[in-house]
Amino acid sequence: MEAAAAPAHVSVSVSKGAFRNGDDGGPTNGGVTSRIKDLTDIEGVRENQLIGYGLVVGLNGTGDSLNAAPFTKQSLQSMLERLGVNTRGATLRTKNVAAVMVTANLPPFGTQGTRIDVTVSALGDATSLQGGTLIVTPLMGADGEVYSVAQGSVAVIGFNAQGEAAQVVRGVPTTGRISNGGLIEREIPFVLNNLATIRLALRNPDLTTARRIAAAVNAFIGKGVAEPLDPATVSLQVPKTYQGNIVQMLTEIEQLRVEPDQLAKIVIDERSGIIVMGHDVRVSTVAVAQGNLTVTITESPVASQPAPFSDGETVITPRTEINVDTDKNRRLAILREGVNLRQLVDGLNAIGVGPRDLIAILQAIKAAGALQAEIEVM
């Protein structure tokens, strides 16, 4: 288990302005900027996940079927035995108990006695956890040690109502939450002030962004303090003026603003037809045509009736209508070299294509080598 927590943030007035690496590597006033606090995380300052197994009692007949969920029956018997009630060999038919998995996040620098929120999820065939109470449940970390204990009334947003011929389910009634339901019993030792080197981890790794962050820190504190190690890491050497007071150093650095850079990328979700394009997407000169051959066949059978008082029979005469749409109104569009994102979208919309066709067109432009961007298909 590792410590994880961001140090307390103090409002700091920074007069250095916004920093952006110029061609000479020094800081210059840039465009849209973000705080270093919003671009990076401090290595070692993080949450830890906790998990536990427990029982929720007090349900209104919506709990597990003990015959279908033997683990619930075994857990119930074990709990009752610890309380001095012997149920071995007895037939249990209660529907008011449900086996659940309890999860929580141990916050960084969480101290003993501090309360945290926990999430409770049904493990068996319970239909709802509404109105239930979680019995004392130890929550363990990845190392198997108990770091918190959870107990309390489960709050469920969803509900399940049913009758003999209809059923209504709203939300997820088999998952609930207990606000401040976990009590921290063990702390994770981590002394931030004793560190001689601090590493900032970029949330979106990028070489240019890492270099700009280092330049901003060096311009504010002094040269040689920050050094980009790779696209995802910037190393900070704690100067003598901040030794023993790293919190002040970090709060001042977090307020510095830099202009983050990013790859030219197009993200496509083919399932929903969503397309997201980055600002730096560029296209070389390319001609695009889009058209579909649509054939529509309609069957309209007609009944042919014989003349009155004749010996004829009623005959069903088939009638087929075929329409062919070749999209004659579609035109060949030319996208000029170096167009920006807005011009690219306007040019493709001028062809009259929908999101599904637009996905295929972007992939075809990329295959032709005319799209200077990375395509990521989700």
Q: Distance between alpha carbon 280 and the CA centroid of its chain, in Å?
A: 24
pLDDT tens profile 258-295? 999 888 888 888 777 788 887 778 777 777 666 654 44
Assigned token pair, 260: 């983050």
Question: How many Å apart are CA 235 and CA 3, to the nearest integer?
Answer: 19
Question: How many Å apart are CA 109 and CA 5, to the nearest integer?
Answer: 5
Terminal-residue alpha carbon distance, the chain: 32
Top-confidence residue, 80 or 278: 80
* Residue 320 main-chain phi, psi, to 5 deg: -115, 130
pLDDT tens profile 299-349? 567 777 777 766 667 777 776 565 555 555 555 555 555 566 666 666 666
Question: How many Å apart are CA 73 and CA 60, to the nearest integer?
Answer: 17
Angle 207-220/246-254 helices, nearest 10 degrees?
120
Asked if residues 359 and 275 have their Cβ atoms less than 8 Å apart, the reply is yes
Q: Where along the chain do its domains lie? A: 18-44+191-258, 48-184, 266-377
Top-confidence residue, 45 or 162: 45
pLDDT tens profile 109-151? 999 999 999 999 999 999 899 999 999 999 999 999 999 999 9
Whether this prediction's pTM lies above 0.75 is answered by no
**Contact residues for 87 (Cβ-Cβ < 8 A; gap 6+):** 76, 77, 80, 81
Mean pLDDT, to the nearest integer, of 220-233?
92
Neighbours of 176 (CB within 10 A): 26
Angle subtended at Cα 139 by Cα 136 and Cα 144, rounded to the nearest 5 degrees = 135
Q: In 3-state terms, what secondary structure has residue 262?
A: coil
> Does an H or E element contain 23, and which?
none
pLDDT at 23 over 70: no
Asked if residues 214 and 228 have their Cβ atoms less than 8 Å apart, the reply is yes
Query: What is the Cβ-side half-sphere exposure of residue 270, based on CA atoms within 13 angstroms?
Result: 10
Give the range with max mean pLDDT: 74-83, 159-168, 250-259, 314-323. Answer: 250-259
Question: How many Å apart are CA 31 and CA 327, to the nearest integer?
Answer: 44
Angle subtended at Cα 170 by Cα 166 and Cα 176, rounded to the nearest 5 degrees = 130
